[in-house]
């Protein structure tokens, strides 16, 4: 099973912030990017 990196976070209107690699897509679902703070190099 994948999904241990937390780099695929998205915000779903009905569920909040989830990992996109662990969420099935359904018709009419509203998905927004989750912009987590950028890491300093």
In a 10 Å sphere around its CB, with 0-12 CB exposed, 13-18 middle and 19+ buried, how is residue 34 labelled?
A: middle
Domain count, the chain: 1
Query: How far, in Å, are 4, 28, 35, 37 from residue 40 at the CA level?
Result: 21, 36, 15, 9
Give me the pLDDT at residue 18, please: 87
Give me the pLDDT at residue 37, please: 60
Give me the pLDDT at residue 39, please: 54
Domain carrying residue 3? 1-41
Give me the pLDDT at residue 27, please: 92
Residue-wise pLDDT tens digits, 1-41: 555 677 788 888 888 888 888 888 889 999 888 776 655 54
């Amino acid at each position: 099973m994948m999904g241990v990196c937390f780099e695929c976070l998205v915000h779903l209107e009905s569920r909040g912030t989830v990992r996109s690699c662990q969420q099935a897509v359904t018709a009419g679902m509203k998905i927004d990017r989750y912009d987590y703070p950028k890491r300093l190099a």
